[in-house]
Structure 1
Amino acid sequence: MRLGIRIFLVYFLFVGLGGYFLLNTVNEEIRPGVRQSSEETLVDTANLLAELLRDDLKHGRLAQSQFAELLTRYGQREPNATIWGISKSSVSHRIYVTDAQGRVILDSSGQAVGEDYSRWNDVYLTLRGEYGARSTRELADDADSSVMYVAAPIKDGNEIIGVVSVAKPNRTLQPYIARTEARLTALAVGLIVLGLLVGALLSWWLTRSLRLLGAYAGAVSQGAKAQVPQFRGGELARLAEALEQMRRELDGKQYVERYVHTLTHELKSPLAAVRAAGELLREPLSEAERERFADNVVSESQRMQQLIERLLNLAVVEQRQALQQVSEISLKALCDEVLAAQHARLSEAQLHVVLDVSGTLSVRGERWLLAQALHNLLDNAIDFAPPESALHWWAEQRDGQLALSLFNPAEPIPEYALNRLSERFYSLPRPASGRKSSGLGLNFVQEVLHLHGGKLHIANVSTPSVGVCVTVCLPL
């Protein structure tokens, strides 16, 4: 099972169970809470009525007082009120008054006058000086039919001369309880769903971050160029920084070992040539022979210097994971700069360059790297171009990319070599000298283009004339 799914399931378990228990607890507290609040109101109402009824009950005129008519009219009232979206069309309180023996004197419902209520808890406890209340079901099998009764003593001094009870059916409270439970349930479910969405988002973000770090580590282990994922602070940012630091240290060690081995291998041949020429120069030689061996020393020394310089340049590019000093570069200005630097070699080889690059074309990248890449391309073209020929350099927009092509009217490249020209140390003999180069130039070009998100294409062409076309493709 994936880590992200595990994290989400654990989060779901905690949020779901926590939400369920919280919702269940709240719903269990709503019903008694509403009833307790209603009971508190009934207590206040009963005590108010006890004070209002005291004098009439004390003087024995309660049954003939206006309260009998008032209670009757009260039971017939239609409030037509809307309370929090719930309609109330009739009064729900029932009020009855008993004497000191517990016999009903007045009843707002008119149904219990003259009956003995002395055994009902509300009356019985109140007559004994205690808090009198009861809850009685109208239907024995229906819990929602229960009615809450709260009584208050009617006193003459310290003597209890009667009891007034106020009753309220619990069914009148049920719509408010149900409405509150429904709203709380909807809110709780919404919060749980929101919590799960946050958990899913957190799980996705965490697994995505770990996946990016894993992909980066995999790419580095395979020797590919990869940029370390960027995070804004926290443990992931420190982990990414540690991985990048580890990569740099490991790459540095491996890179040094590989390049020391490569450099020593490639320097064997020119060093042997220099040593042989030096030993021969110790012997008695004619002036012509001495000059020839001295030229060998110079040419082999230049070859070693060129090899070292190109290896160093290639090392700089290969160690880079991304561009650093990016700027907008005019392509024509860059080509003019390269041609000016190669003017001496072009004149010596009697070559002419036709430059067909618009001044409006530009690319984004590192100027020095692109200039070095173009220098290497032009070096190769000069080495292979026939004397007194023309090189054609042009640029065009193609498939959303900028294509810079250099045509060289040289002999076609053998098919077996076409796919290997950008390999490190692979080179073809130069037509003029028959000697091979370091084989690092096109490899350097390919590394530079990879950093810029571009590609290198080398192909034999037959139109408009026979030759070799090297194309550098860069993103616009």
Structure 2
Amino acid sequence: MALSKRIFIFYFFFVALCGYFMVHLFSEQVYPSVRQTTEETLVDTANFLAEVVSFDLQDDKITPEYLQKRMESYQARDPRANIWGIEKNDVSLHIYITDSEGIVVFDSRNQAVGKDYSKWRDVYLTLRGQYGARSTTEALSSDPTVMSSTMYVGAPIYQNGEIIGVLTVSKPSHTTDAYIASAKAELTFFAIILLGTSLLLGAILSWWLGVSYRKLIDYASKLGKGEREVPPKFYGKDLNVLTSTLSNLRAELDGKEYIENYINTLTHELKSPLAAIRGASELLQNDLDPKTAQRFLHNIDREGARLQNLIDRVLHLSMVEKKQTLEVREPLHLSKLIDEVLSSYSVIITQKSLQVEIDIAPDLRFLGDHFLMTQALSNVIHNAVDFMPANGLLSITAEVIDNAIILQINNEGPQIPDYALSRLYERFYSLPRPDSGEKSTGLGLNFVKEVIALHHGKMRIENRMKGVNVTIEIPLGDSSIKPH
């Protein structure tokens, strides 16, 4: 499973678990809190009413009929109250009064007068000077089929500092259920919004991490294959540091391998010209006729030039191979580049009476490095001209396909042997020239391949019926102009 998916799943379960416990904990706290508030209100109400009726009770002047009429008027009231969006259209307090023995002397429902409530906790504890309260599940007076928990709170009625009775106020819990349900609904709504927002942010974070790590993995994979790739940029320091570390590590490994390979191959290639120079110099130390001495001096000069050419090519190739990207990218006209390169080989083209056909739109251009592309095209055209017989045809064409320039350089001449096709890009590998039988440094095509890769292009070499064809594909780039 992808890292981003694992992060998202973990984040999802973590947020969901936190959301569940938050809602559950809050729900568990809402009901007790509402009951506590209700009980506190009942305590105030009971004590106030106890003080109101205390004088009547102590003189045995409690008039149940009068109180009953007042309670009926109270119960008939319509408060028309809107409490936090919830309509309240009735009143629900139940009141009863007991004497010092716990016998009910007044009941707002007119159902319990004369009954002994001395064992009920609200009456029993209050008569003994303690806080008396109880909660009982009973049927609602308005709807006997509905059971509800009812809270009873008692308040002492005093005469000369002594308790002569108890006034109890009760309220069914169903009257507060609407407020609890509203609080739960609002809490659930915001919890869902919070959960959705958290999951969206988590999904975005997981997606960003997934994309970033995929870029990093892709970059590391290309580095491992030795491909050139521009280091990806990330938002955040850590991933950029990791990218930079990978780039530096690849550069160090490439540097060590590069030096080792070059020491081995360069040492091998230097042996032949050095041996020729040493042999000629040893012979020149003897008495030789002027003609022979001149021939050996010519050999030393030729081998010295060969060494110089080899060193120059190695330096150019090493410079290109160490580049990861082009420092300079400017619009280049392909037709002008080809003309510039062909002009440097005009002498050999004339000597061999070669025919040159060019089919390139004058306004075709791409983004690249002028010096490197000139050197690369020079190597390709030099090889094409060297292997062509007299009166041969050199054809250079270009067209735009899928936003890329397809440049083809085709020469008439001998085909490349099958055994050599797979080794053309090897360093120091070269085929003998048909005219002289000499070999080049074997670094040219390797240099061309590296330059084309720096331009994010491709190249291939293949035999054709009358010669060899080199195909170079280069992306046009943002500033290119397609031919009409």
Distance 1:328 1:93, change over 3 A: farther
**1:370 deviation in Å?**
1.9
3-state DSSP class of the match of 2:440?
coil
140, 165, 168: which one aligns with 1:165 = 168
370, 384, 390: which one aligns with 1:367 = 370
1:255 is matched with 258
Aligned equivalents of 1:18, 1:459: Cα separation in 2: 66
TM-score, normalization by structure 1: 0.83
Summarize the alignment of residues 288-327 of structure 1 with structure 2, pairs less than 5 Å apart: 288-327=291-330
8 Å CA contact 2:265–2:428 kept in 1: the answer is: no
Query: Aligned letter for 2:267?
Result: T
> Could you list the runs of 5+ residues in structure 1 that have no partner in the other structure?
none
8 Å CA contact 1:147–1:169 kept in 2: the answer is: yes
3-state DSSP class of the match of 2:410?
strand
1:115 is matched with 115
Aligned equivalents of 1:255, 1:327: Cα separation in 2: 29
Greater CA deviation, 28-37 or 404-413? 404-413
Distance 1:62 1:457, change over 3 A: same
Greater CA deviation, 181-190 or 446-455? 181-190
1:177 is matched with 180
1:90 is matched with 90
1:238 is matched with 241
Distance 1:428 1:88, change over 3 A: same
**1:259 deviation in Å?**
0.6
2:34 is matched with 34
Alpha-carbon deviations, 1:54-98, whole Å to 9, x = none? 555566555278653231122234556665565555332223334
> Could you list the runs of 5+ residues in structure 2 that have no partner in the other structure?
140-144, 477-484
Aligned equivalents of 1:441, 1:320: Cα separation in 2: 17
**1:249 deviation in Å?**
1.9
Aligned equivalents of 1:48, 1:349: Cα separation in 2: 126
1:424 aligns with 2:419: no
420, 433, 439: which one aligns with 1:436 = 439
3-state DSSP class of the match of 2:170?
strand
1:334 aligns with 2:319: no
Distance 1:98 1:327, change over 3 A: farther
| Identical-residue share of aligned pairs (%) | 49
1:407 aligns with 2:410: yes
8 Å CA contact 1:75–1:94 kept in 2: the answer is: no
Alpha-carbon deviations, 1:353-392, whole Å to 9, x = none? 4444334322123333222211211221221234455533
8 Å CA contact 1:75–1:109 kept in 2: the answer is: no
2:473 is matched with 473
1:448 is matched with 451
CA RMSD of aligned residues (A): 3.7
8 Å CA contact 2:394–2:411 kept in 1: the answer is: yes
381, 385, 388: which one aligns with 2:384 = 381
Query: Aligned letter for 1:437?
Result: S
Aligned equivalents of 1:157, 1:379: Cα separation in 2: 128
Greater CA deviation, 183-192 or 359-368? 183-192
3-state DSSP class of the match of 1:173?
helix
8 Å CA contact 1:144–1:170 kept in 2: the answer is: no
Distance 1:57 1:343, change over 3 A: farther
Summarize the alignment of residues 338-357 of structure 1 with structure 2, pairs less than 5 Å apart: 338-343=341-346, 346=349, 351=354, 353-357=356-360
Greater CA deviation, 247-256 or 183-192? 183-192
1:392 is matched with 395
Distance 1:63 1:369, change over 3 A: farther
2:136 is matched with 136
Query: Aligned letter for 2:277?
Result: V
**1:169 deviation in Å?**
0.9
8 Å CA contact 2:82–2:88 kept in 1: the answer is: yes
Summarize the alignment of residues 93-104 of structure 1 with structure 2, pairs less than 5 Å apart: 93-104=93-104
**1:135 deviation in Å?**
1.0
Greater CA deviation, 240-249 or 201-210? 201-210
**1:433 deviation in Å?**
1.1
Aligned equivalents of 1:458, 1:126: Cα separation in 2: 108
1:124 is matched with 124
3-state DSSP class of the match of 2:453?
helix
2:281 is matched with 278
8 Å CA contact 1:409–1:468 kept in 2: the answer is: yes
Alpha-carbon deviations, 1:261-292, whole Å to 9, x = none? 11111111222222233334444445444443
Alpha-carbon deviations, 1:238-276, whole Å to 9, x = none? 333333222222221221111111111111122222223
